[in-house]
């Protein structure tokens, strides 16, 4: 495109494919510029890891691996352990998934397979809307409706139903404050289920029409075709949506900070207040002073980063395994 009339004959004569002539063609320029942009991904990742690693230095040196297992978090005595927050993060996220995956996947199946045109489109629009609501809004919703509901109805109801069931009773022991692990899980579940619906629905819609028709043509009912053929066909996408939701739940800060209760001790009961890594980072970082406290908080950040990294690895592994098992690619 940039080649001039004067340059062209020369090009032909020499048959040159050197850098300059390619530069004139524009391809090389485009390659270099886009390469530069692509490199920014590497740079940001490297900066992130370096910063987390270096700044958490004092804490890492002082506590070593016991940082992960220690349950004490005491800024006054400069003793720091990550376990209560790691525990809180994982528990709230897993419970949130237990709540939202069945609902989300079920809703996605309805929207993609069973609902009629306009109705499905309208609901899908709402789902996308929900997915874009800022998390602080969900936090407000939680404080003003879910926390009171938890205190008045859900908590007492759970205690009545499971209070004397062996094994499960510990999960609902203790007083009901309204805030706590389960409240945070419910908020998280509400926040991630639009993602699960949206991504699962896309995956289901991408299943070739011929797959549905093949099942129907063999005498399967609509539901049999959906459940036995379409859903398994889309399972990679559905698993992807679950991991996306999981990642979002792990990192969610604002809404969780508002309802988790900010208790730096571990409690077995889901009705008890607790804390998560993002929540304690948000609530303590401003006031952290000295050398060790900020450093320990940054190490918490590092732990969270590694957790999401491991999660990503697991997701890849799961996809690899399920792909090998009969599915091959779509």
Residues found near other proteins in the complex (CB under 8 A):
116-117, 208, 210-221, 224, 228-229, 232-233, 326-330
Contact 146, 96 (CB under 8 A): no
What sections of the chain are H helices per DSSP? 7-14, 19-25, 27-55, 57-63, 66-69, 83-109, 117-131, 135-141, 147-149, 155-162, 181-205, 209-217, 222-224, 231-233, 235-251, 254-259, 277-284, 292-322
Instruction: Identify which of residues 9 and 219 has a Cβ nearer to other proteins in the complex.
Output: 219
- The token duo for 106 is 């079920």
**Smallest distance from the beta carbon of 216 to other proteins, in angstroms?**
6
**Smallest distance from the beta carbon of 224 to other proteins, in angstroms?**
5
Q: Cβ contacts of residue 117 below 8 Å, gap of 6+? A: none
Instruction: Identify which of residues 15 and 219 has a Cβ nearer to other proteins in the complex.
Output: 219
**Angle, alpha carbons 294-299-302 (nearest 5°):** 135
Instruction: Identify which of residues 10 and 228 has a Cβ nearer to other proteins in the complex.
Output: 228
What are the C-alpha distances in Å from 197 to residues 7, 94, 203? 57, 17, 10
**Smallest distance from the beta carbon of 108 to other proteins, in angstroms?**
19
**Smallest distance from the beta carbon of 114 to other proteins, in angstroms?**
12
Instruction: Identify which of residues 13 and 324 has a Cβ nearer to other proteins in the complex.
Output: 324
**Smallest distance from the beta carbon of 239 to other proteins, in angstroms?**
14
Burial track 105-132 (b if 16+ CB lie within 10 A, e otherwise):
bebbbbbbbebeeeebeebbeebeebbe
- The token duo for 183 is 């409240």
**Smallest distance from the beta carbon of 218 to other proteins, in angstroms?**
4
In DSSP terms, 80 is beta-bridged to 73
Instruction: Identify which of residues 217 and 306 has a Cβ nearer to other proteins in the complex.
Output: 217
Instruction: Identify which of residues 97 and 207 has a Cβ nearer to other proteins in the complex.
Output: 207
């Amino acid at each position: 495109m940039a080649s001039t009339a004067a340059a062209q004959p020369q090009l032909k004569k020499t048959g040159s494919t050197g850098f300059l002539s390619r530069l004139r063609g524009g391809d090389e320029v485009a390659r270099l510029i886009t390469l530069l942009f692509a490199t920014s991904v590497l740079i940001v990742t490297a900066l992130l890891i370096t910063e987390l690693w270096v700044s958490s230095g004092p804490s890492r040196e002082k506590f070593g691996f016991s940082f992960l297992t220690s349950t004490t978090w005491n800024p006054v005595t400069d003793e720091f352990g990550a376990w209560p927050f790691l525990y809180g993060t994982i528990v709230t996220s897993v419970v949130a998934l237990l709540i939202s995956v069945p609902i989300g996947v079920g809703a996605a199946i309805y929207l993609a397979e069973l609902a009629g045109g306009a109705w499905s489109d309208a609901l899908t629009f709402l789902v996308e809307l929900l997915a874009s609501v800022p998390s602080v809004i969900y936090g407000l919703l939680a404080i003003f409706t879910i926390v009171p509901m938890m205190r008045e109805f859900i908590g007492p109801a759970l205690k009545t139903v499971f209070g004397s069931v062996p094994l499960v009773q510990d999960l609902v022991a203790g007083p009901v404050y309204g805030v706590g692990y389960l409240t945070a899980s419910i908020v998280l579940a509400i926040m991630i289920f639009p993602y699960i619906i949206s991504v699962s629905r896309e995956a289901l819609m991408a299943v070739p029409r011929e797959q549905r028709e093949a099942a129907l043509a063999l005498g399967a009912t609509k539901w049999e075709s959906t459940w036995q053929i379409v859903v398994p066909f889309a399972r990679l996408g559905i698993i992807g949506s679950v991991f996306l939701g999981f990642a979002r739940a792990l990192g969610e800060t604002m809404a969780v900070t508002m309802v988790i209760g900010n208790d730096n001790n571990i409690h077995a009961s889901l009705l008890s207040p607790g804390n998560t890594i993002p929540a304690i980072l948000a609530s303590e970082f401003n006031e952290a002073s000295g050398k060790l406290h900020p450093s320990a908080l940054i190490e918490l950040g590092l732990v969270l980063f590694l957790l999401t990294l491991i999660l990503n690895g697991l997701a890849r592994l799961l996809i690899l395994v399920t792909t090998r098992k009969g599915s091959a690619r779509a």
